[in-house]
């Protein structure tokens, strides 16, 4: 049975490794299937396709969409979609714009609180990748406001600290529909402690296809709870390490360790194939 990691990040969002570096590491870890799921970007996936082929790794299309649900930001993984689908590309474009606008507002908010930070510095930190709070966090570390990215999140960048910085992300229902029309499947990312049972019911009712049951933030009982929830609702089970690179997050040591069997990927493919045939 082959091992798959369906949740990884590269320099196309807030990861520290390029798609090439990530794929080489994936090969070393003995992964057979990989999904590059950058935040709101498929650039890392697109760049990785050829390298994956050369290294005999099955790279499936993936992205971690930020979506809006009941006024909250939710992470929704999407896989196996047609990457040339125009509606999907417009969604990504819309999120890119939303992220830039949001970062401008975050910077304004921080400056009001006496933090000397410029939007252009955060932009430079993100390089050619999708901008996000981890890049602002790195700037705060470099400027000596905090000692670590984690501290930056706690003291400055958590949703509670920032208050209501509505980014204007697309509603979950719309993203679910677009991914499905693009022949792809969706999965609720790292639900862990984020949602109450009532929330989960509501989220499932939006039409998501799966739940990320396996994630480094899930203890075995949590993993079991979500696997049972997926089964009871006839949903796909997905899983991955949420690898961001070395020292980026607490999950990073789990790359190559937190994996999912490729029979789960086969189930995802069956649904995706059915959708593509019905188009
Ligand atoms: P954003 O994409 O701007 O919404 O930022 C959210 C991302 O920041 C998440 O996907 C994580 O990768 C990262 N993140 C969230 N909390 C922390 C934390 N405490 N320490 C480091 N990274 C974090
Ligand atoms: Fe991230
Ligand atoms: Fe996430
Ligand atoms: Zn992630």
Domains and CATH numbers, the chain: 3-92+168-277 (3.20.20.140), 99-162 (1.10.150.650)
The full DSSP string for 98-135 is HHHHHHHHHHHHHHHTT----HHHHHHHHTTS---HHH
Tokens representing residue 109 in the block: 């908010």
Sequence-distant (6+) residues with CB within 8 A of 142 are none
Give the torsion sign (CA, 81, 85, 91, 93): positive
Calculated CA dihedral for residues 136, 129, 210, 1, nearest 10 degrees: -120
Ligand nearest to the CA of 75: 3
> Alpha-carbon distance 167 to 73, whole Å?
9
Task: Say yes or no to pLDDT of 164 above 70.
Answer: no
Residue closest by Cα to atom 19 of ligand 1: 150
| Residue ranges of E strands in the chain | 3-8, 33-36, 58-60, 62-69, 72-79, 185-188, 210-214, 236-239, 260-261
pLDDT tens-digit readout, 15-53: 999 999 999 999 999 999 999 999 999 999 999 999 999
Backbone torsions φ then ψ of 11, nearest 5 degrees: -65, -10
Ligand nearest to the CA of 194: 3
**CB-ligand 1 contact for 39 (6 Å cutoff):** yes
pLDDT over 90 for what percent of the chain?
Answer: 91
Q: Which residues of 201-216 are buried (b: 16+ CB within 10 A; e: fewer)?
A: eebbebebbbbbbbbb
Residue closest by Cα to atom 21 of ligand 1: 150
Task: Say yes or no to pLDDT of 57 above 70.
Answer: yes
**Mean of pLDDT values over 251-268:** 95
| Residue 279: band (very low, low, confident or very high) from pLDDT cuts 50, 70, 90 | confident
Q: From the CA of 75, how far away is ligand 4's center (Å)?
A: 8
| Residue 160: band (very low, low, confident or very high) from pLDDT cuts 50, 70, 90 | confident
**CB-ligand 1 contact for 249 (6 Å cutoff):** yes
Residue closest by Cα to atom 18 of ligand 1: 150
Residue closest by Cα to atom 11 of ligand 1: 134
| Residue ranges of E strands in 115-194 | 185-188
> Model's pTM, two decimal places?
0.96
Nearest-atom index, ligand 1, CA of 73: 4
**Mean of pLDDT values over 63-73:** 95
What pLDDT, on a 0 to 100 scale, did the predictor assign at position 251?
85
Nearest-atom index, ligand 1, CA of 103: 3
Is the distance from CB of 38 to CB of 129 less than 8 angstroms?
Answer: yes
Q: From the CA of 117, how far away is ligand 4's center (Å)?
A: 26
List C-alpha distances in Å: 193 to 10, 61, 100, 158, 209: 25, 27, 28, 16, 20
Of 132, 147, 169, 242, best ligand 1 pocket probe by most atoms within 8 Å of the beta carbon: 132
pLDDT tens-digit readout, 171-218: 999 999 999 999 999 999 999 999 999 999 999 999 999 999 999 999
Residue closest by Cα to atom 20 of ligand 1: 150
Tokens representing residue 2 in the block: 């082959």
**CB-ligand 1 contact for 134 (6 Å cutoff):** yes
């Amino acid at each position: 049975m082959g091992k798959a990691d369906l949740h990884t990040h590269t320099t196309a969002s807030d990861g520290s490794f390029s798609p090439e570096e990530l794929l080489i590491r994936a090969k070393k870890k003995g992964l057979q299937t990989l999904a590059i799921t950058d935040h709101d970007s498929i650039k890392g996936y697109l760049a990785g396709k050829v390298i994956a082929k050369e290294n005999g790794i099955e790279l499936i299309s993936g992205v971690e969409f930020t979506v809006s649900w009941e006024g909250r930001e939710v992470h929704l993984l999407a896989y196996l979609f047609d990457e040339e689908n125009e509606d999907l590309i417009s969604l990504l474009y819309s999120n890119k714009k939303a992220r830039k606008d949001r970062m401008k507002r975050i910077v304004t908010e921080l400056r009001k609180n006496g933090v000397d930070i410029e939007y252009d510095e955060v932009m430079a930190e993100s390089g050619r990748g999708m901008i996000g709070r981890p890049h602002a966090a790195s700037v705060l570390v470099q400027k000596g406001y905090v000692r670590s990215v984690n501290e930056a999140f706690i003291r400055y960048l958590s949703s509670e600290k920032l208050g209501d910085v509505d980014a204007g992300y697309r509603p979950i229902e719309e993203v679910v529909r677009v991914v499905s029309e693009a022949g792809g499947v969706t999965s609720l990312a790292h639900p862990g402690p984020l949602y109450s049972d009532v929330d989960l019911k509501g989220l499932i009712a939006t039409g998501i296809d799966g739940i990320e049951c396996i994630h480094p933030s899930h203890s075995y009982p949590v993993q079991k709870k979500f696997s049972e929830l997926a089964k009871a609702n006839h949903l796909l089970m997905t899983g991955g390490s949420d690898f961001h690179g070395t020292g980026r997050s607490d999950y990073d040591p789990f790359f190559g360790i937190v994996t999912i069997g490729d029979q789960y990927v086969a189930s995802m493919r069956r649904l995706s194939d059915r959708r593509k045939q019905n188009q």
